Amino acid sequence: MLTKQPLAEWFATYQYSVKLCCSQDEEMSIIGALFYGSLFLYCDGLLKSILSHPDWITLNKNKEKPIIIDLIVKPFKCPGKSIDMIFVQSERSKKEEATKFFLSLYDGTPKRYPRGDMLFFIPVTSKLEDDYTDAQRVKFIFNHTAYLGEEDCTAIFGFTDLNTQILLKDGKQVALRTLLKSLPASTGMSRPRLFQVVDPNGGQNCTLVTFQRCDRPAIEERKATLEDELCSHLAPGEIGKALKDETDSLRFVGAFHKNKGEVIRIHNPSKTHLDFMEHADRLLSSPPKKRSNSTMVTPDQSVTTSSTSTPTVSVQTGNINYSQAVQAYTTQIRSVNIQPRGGMTMTTMTQTSQLVSAVMESRFQTIEQEQQDIKHRLHSVEHRTTTTDENIRLMMAH
């Protein structure tokens, strides 16, 4: 099969990938799994941070060749369930040294971790079913899935390298990733911080942020103020280090997950295309919406007045909006002074005028409520500024 078409084309067609083995001297072997590790994590970036850790540098200081490790995604299985997880592999002859290092680095306790990613290393000496009982593996998966929750993500275009050091107003210097992960959650969100994972995508052309699926409405609301919120924490002139272009605002784009931990589709329309769509929206009209069942007249919602030799007028008084009420009220005024045969003036009594007043009063109450909500949001932003500083202080303390 491989001789009939180029190898790269065959891999692309059947969704396979191939890369050179990390070690050309000996076979690589699985040494354990990184629990609590989201598949949205950029494994290459995580591996780079591990290799630059002081303890890893010390471990390899006097070696002729450093220990070679790699991160891969494969299933972690228990009876009746299987879930993809990040695994660590090393050279077979160096398994014990590498395992000891990872047990110390990622012990699952609250402390300072590389890039702030709290992980729990579970060693694997031979096979999962040999190392752990069915009940133990079920417990591992239960805690792993509970920690991650129902992840959702979005892509943000406009940030620079997440490892960029930026100066805060209080004089502290932190990485851009740390600042983003320190932002407090909005009121009512299920987690204490706005984002769980902040990492570049595989192409490193955008930033992926994760959150709980149930919190998406709150994330959508924060999008409009995120850039201003970041500016409120930075020292003067530092925003240029966080953004690729200060004149261009951040863009939020949907990201679709997942294929062995890789984001497989990010819809990223060009600025030219977005400008065209905005231009087209100004020129074109939307089709009329279909009439819903709620606007149909029912017997208990209509007021009917009739008399001998006079026409019947039916006016709907339930499930009516402001524009419908005004239209009904105008129609009613026009029909009051009709002179039918017989010299009698027909007068139809409805509650439409009262309904118009009630709808207008309700609308003004809504406007007042919106003004109160805006004041509450401004107060929340001021509170989040204080909370973010506290989060950064705690993260730096660990």
Q: Please check whether residues 158 and 58 belong to one and the same domain.
A: no
What strands lie across the sheet with 120-123, from one edge to the other? 69-78, 81-91, 28-35, 120-123
Q: Is pLDDT at 96 greater than 70 in this prediction?
A: yes
The candidate with the shortest Cα–Cα distance to 267, out of 280, 281, 252, 249, is 252
Q: HSE, CB side, 13 Å, CA atoms: give it for residue 288.
A: 3
pLDDT band at 383 (very low <50, low <70, confident <90, very high): low
Q: Please check whether residues 137 and 156 belong to one and the same domain.
A: no
Q: Please check whether residues 263 and 355 belong to one and the same domain.
A: no
User: How many Å apart are CA 118 and CA 131, to the nearest integer?
Assistant: 23
Tokens 């905005």, residue? 278
What is the predicted pLDDT for the residue at 203? 74
What is the predicted pLDDT for the residue at 336? 45
Question: Is position 383 within any domain?
Answer: yes
Q: Is pLDDT at 333 greater than 90 in this prediction?
A: no
pLDDT band at 357 (very low <50, low <70, confident <90, very high): low
What strands lie across the sheet with 151-157, from one edge to the other? 198-200, 207-212, 151-157, 251-259, 262-266
Q: Please check whether residues 166 and 141 belong to one and the same domain.
A: no
Q: Is pLDDT at 318 greater than 50 in this prediction?
A: no
Q: Please check whether residues 14 and 142 belong to one and the same domain.
A: yes
Q: What percent of the chain has pLDDT over 70?
A: 64
Work out the average pLDDT over 152-181.
Answer: 92
β partners of residue 212: 151
Candidate from 128-142, 149-163, 222-236 with smallest mean pLDDT: 128-142
Question: Is position 279 within any domain?
Answer: no
User: How many Å apart are CA 18 and CA 86, to the nearest integer?
Assistant: 18
User: How many Å apart are CA 62 and CA 97, to the nearest integer?
Assistant: 14
Tell me the residue range of the domain where 382 lies.
320-335+348-390
Q: Which tokens is 73 given?
A: 């995604």
Rank 218-222, 322-326, 333-337 by mean pLDDT and report only the highest. Answer: 218-222
Average pLDDT over the chain reads 77
User: How many Å apart are CA 95 and CA 98, to the nearest integer?
Assistant: 5
Q: Please check whether residues 202 and 134 belong to one and the same domain.
A: no
DSSP H helical segments within the chain, as ranges?
A: 7-13, 43-51, 54-59, 95-105, 128-131, 134-148, 176-182, 216-233, 239-242, 271-283, 322-336, 352-397
Work out the average pLDDT over 166-177.
Answer: 93
Candidate from 22-31, 68-77, 117-126, 167-176 with smallest mean pLDDT: 22-31
Candidate from 209-223, 332-346, 357-371 with smallest mean pLDDT: 332-346
The pTM assigned to this predicted structure is 0.63
pLDDT band at 213 (very low <50, low <70, confident <90, very high): very high
**pLDDT per position as a tens digit, 246-285:** 788 888 887 765 544 444 445 555 566 566 667 667 766 6
Q: Please check whether residues 11 and 128 belong to one and the same domain.
A: yes
Q: Please check whether residues 133 and 162 belong to one and the same domain.
A: no
Q: Please check whether residues 102 and 179 belong to one and the same domain.
A: no
Residue 19 per-residue DSSP state? -
Tokens 């339930």, residue? 318
β partners of residue 259: 262
**Could you give the number of structural domains in the chain?**
3
Candidate from 19-28, 37-46, 152-161 with smallest mean pLDDT: 19-28
Instruction: Decide: 120 and 205 in contact? Cβ < 8 Å.
Output: no
Phi, psi of 54 (to 5 degrees): -55, -40
What is the predicted pLDDT for the residue at 273? 56
Amino acid 346 reads: M
Q: Is pLDDT at 377 greater than 80 in this prediction?
A: no
Instruction: Decide: 47 and 34 in contact? Cβ < 8 Å.
Output: no
Question: Is position 227 within any domain?
Answer: yes
Tokens 């017997």, residue? 299
Q: Which tokens is 308 given?
A: 């001998």
Residue 118 CB neighbours (<10 A)? 17
Q: Please check whether residues 28 and 137 belong to one and the same domain.
A: yes
Phi, psi of 116 (to 5 degrees): 80, 15
Q: Is pLDDT at 231 greater than 70 in this prediction?
A: yes
Q: Is pLDDT at 309 greater than 80 in this prediction?
A: no
Q: What is the CA radius of gyration of the chain?
A: 31
Q: Is pLDDT at 344 greater than 80 in this prediction?
A: no
Instruction: Decide: 340 and 376 in contact? Cβ < 8 Å.
Output: no
Q: Higher pLDDT residue, 77 or 394?
A: 77
pLDDT band at 397 (very low <50, low <70, confident <90, very high): low
Q: Please check whether residues 169 and 51 belong to one and the same domain.
A: no
Q: Which tokens is 61 given?
A: 């200081």
Instruction: Decide: 102 and 70 in contact? Cβ < 8 Å.
Output: no
Question: Is position 397 within any domain?
Answer: no
Question: Is position 212 within any domain?
Answer: yes
What is the predicted pLDDT for the residue at 288? 75
**pLDDT per position as a tens digit, 238-248:** 999 999 887 88
Q: Is pLDDT at 314 greater than 70 in this prediction?
A: no
What is the predicted pLDDT for the residue at 209? 93
Q: Is pLDDT at 324 greater than 80 in this prediction?
A: no
User: How many Å apart are CA 383 and CA 379, to the nearest integer?
Assistant: 6
Q: Please check whether residues 163 and 246 belong to one and the same domain.
A: yes
What is the predicted pLDDT for the residue at 298? 46
What is the predicted pLDDT for the residue at 311? 44
pLDDT band at 184 (very low <50, low <70, confident <90, very high): very high
Q: Which tokens is 297 given?
A: 């007249």
Residue 88 per-residue DSSP state? E
Residue 338: C-alpha distances to residues 31, 334, 344, 351, 378 (Å): 92, 8, 9, 19, 55
Q: Higher pLDDT residue, 314 or 48?
A: 48
Residue 187 per-residue DSSP state? T
